[in-house]
Structure 1
Amino acid sequence: MSKVVLRDSPGEIPAASRVQRDLTGDRPAADVEMARVLGTLPFRMALDSSGAGIAHWKHEPLHDVVAPMSHHVIMAYNGVVQRMERRSGKDIAIGTFRPGAVIIIPEGSSSRWDIPKPVDVVQLYLPQTTLRRVADEAATGVSPELLERTAHPDPVTSRLLLSAADVLEGNEALDTLFRQQLMDLLATRLLAAHTGSPGTIAPARGGLAPKTLLRAIERLRSDSDSDVSLAALAAEAGLSRFHFCRAFKDSTGLSPHAWLRQHRLEQAMNMLRDTDESVVSIAAALGYSSQTAFAAAFRKLTGESPSDWRRRAR
């Protein structure tokens, strides 16, 4: 399973990310370059070992050059409306930061940014290999080359990205599945809306065969160290990640991440109702990084704290 770094408060940039470099050159990973340019640390971040992931930044006005990076960077803005300027060589783009607008910095591009006010933004770091894989799996017929965008209206991509930062729950299995699904979903959206020749997505091919679905559910239910990444689930089903997610949802009505989150909730309820285990012990047993993370995830789904729910259920 990919290593995930989740940070809710300032801390040190992970060593693996500090030295991350593109195999074809000396480009820094996106999170490293963003930390340098923004002069701060992210409010929240989840990365895998390739440097791909999601980061929520709150930073001061910016007047600096962003160097070429080893990932595509897609940003959704979540602050007050303001004008900004982006210079790439002799080209100048003037845009308006506003909710519903996105910025795309393609892999390897460089530009100077002048943003006069503080910024609240969620960023996606997307490897070109992921974009190419999704294009192949989805049979889009599109060349996976992203266009540069400056405060470009795209409320669909913006909503997906802004919601992502709030869904990370501090549970490695859940967060990894969510991040992988979101990467593929956003890559599909970017291919459809932000390339030079948008194409169409191949239609769904139906649900999983009953035995294949059962094996996938058994893997998701496993309390062992079984790999529940999308890559492992799809490989066992003999499908691409893209088509596995579609088929699993067609069969169950839920994405793999939503199914596992519901299963974890049911486990938590059973343990709270039927045992005297402490909340902190239940959080650890279900794979949450802390009692606080477990309580926040439980409240998000039920509207109650684990302790309050237990008192009411008994």
Structure 2
Amino acid sequence: MSEPISHDAAYENPPASAHTSQDQSPASRRRAADAEMARVLHTTPFRMALDASGAGIAHWKHEPLHDVVEPMSHHVIMAYNGSTQHMERRSGRSVATGTFRRGVVIIIPEGSSSRWDIPKPVDVVQLYLPHATLKRVADEAVTGTLTDLLERTAHPDPITSRLLLSTVSALEGNGALDSLFRHQLIDLLAMRLLAAHTGSPTTFQPTIGGLSPKVLARAIERLRSDSDADVSLDSLASDAGLSRFHFCRAFKESTGLSPHAWLRQHRLEQAMNLLRDTDTSIAMVAAELGYASQTAFAAAFRRLSGETPSDWRRRMR
């Protein structure tokens, strides 16, 4: 992640207008990012998690690309996870070149279009970010006026790259946990984009302090609920009377954990109680806690405890 990054110096930070074709058609005619990527990449994603708005994360492994990416209705941010290779991004006679490797990001702003020539297979994680989400985060978190995202071609940004690539291993096959993690991550990445990839400096609002004891107790009660609707970030923030941005910061100030980390720890404790105190099968424990499969549950349990559920149960009995 911290290794040097090679760039064609003339094109390390070219202005968007130098090599981007801006779509002038109504936004309603643009494809959603996942649909346009499926069209141009001629494959299906290795993994994808989307919201109704189209916001989400997709992990693609695809063959060399020599095609035009048409205007999309989302900003698309990519973190590269493959072997180092040179690539070219072209609009008309303007060309941007760069080197794909871990630690760089690619940004395709909403509505832009360009031709891509990538000679080798690609392993990439993509964020699909509606402009409405970026604006909401800016309204909640930023002091100042939202400006457009800059186009980036293999641009060095290890922080954004690491955050985005972390989703590959962090999604656990649990609906409530994965949704909460995804929403927190999308907001965090939107903040990072506002800080590092717009045309003007960004100042974030200061932390407002923790939640009141009453509001914290109500939030924890929701997080302990079996209803996925109760533990959604929107529901938690709305019930607390705060924006998503301020709720997450205040919750962490009060507990030392993000809402997702708190819920993940709570689910682990529930699993341990069931494994230690009952004869419930591991498959039934997985189902009761909302995991898509026993395999997904076992992988999540091992990441947190260092042991498989069956090994932990044998040791504790």
Fold shared per TM-score above 0.5: yes
Aligned to 2:269: 266
Correspondence 1:46-195 to 2 at 5 A: 46-195=49-198
* Conservation of the 8 A alpha-carbon contact between 2:147 and 2:200: no
Contact in 2 for aligned 1:142/1:191 (Cα 8 Å): no
Instruction: Measure the CA separation in 2 of the matches of 1:223 and 1:115.
Output: 46
Are the equivalent residues in 2 in contact too, given 1:142–1:198 (CA < 8 A)? no
Change (3 A) 1:38 1:242: same
State whether residues 175 and 228 of structure 2, in contact with CA within 8 Å, keep that contact through their aligned partners in structure 1: no
In structure 1, the partner of 2:14 is none
2:220 is matched with 217
Distance in 2 (CA, whole Å) between partners of 1:286 and 1:89 is 53
Give the Cα separation in 2 of the matches to 1:113 and 1:136. 34
Indicate if the aligned counterparts of 1:95 and 1:151 stay in contact, CA closer than 8 A: yes
1:13 corresponds in structure 2 to none
In structure 2, relative to structure 1, the CA distance for the partners of 1:206 and 1:167 (3 Å cut) is same
Secondary structure of the structure 1 residue equivalent to 2:52: coil
d(CA) in 2 for partners of 1:240, 1:213: 15
User: Aligned match of 1:202 in 188, 201, 205?
Assistant: 205
User: Which whole-Å deviations, capped at 9, do the CAs of 1:86-118 have from their partners, x for residues lacking one?
Assistant: 012332101111110000000010000000111
Shift of 1:81: 1.1
Q: TM-score, normalised by structure 1?
A: 0.91
Checking the alignment, whether the CA contact within 8 Å between 2:180 and 2:232 is kept in structure 1 is yes
- Please say which of residues 87-96 and 171-180 is displaced more in the overlay: 87-96
After superposition, the C-alpha distances for 1:289-312 in whole angstroms (9 at most, x for unaligned) are 111111111011111111111000
- Unaligned stretches of 5+ residues in structure 2: 1-24
Aligned-residue offset at 1:224: 3.9
How far does residue 226 in structure 1 lie from its aligned partner after superposition?
4.5
Distance, in Å, in 2 between the alignment partners of 1:278 and 1:160 is 35
> C-alpha offsets along residues 183-226 of structure 1, whole Å, 9 cap, x if unaligned?
00000000000001121111101000000000000000012454
Confirm or deny that 1:29 pairs with 2:32.
yes
Aligned to 1:14: none
Partner SS for 1:112: strand
Find the aligned partners of 2:160 and 2:232 in 1 and give their Cα distance.
24
Runs of 4+ in 1 over 3 A off after TM superposition: none
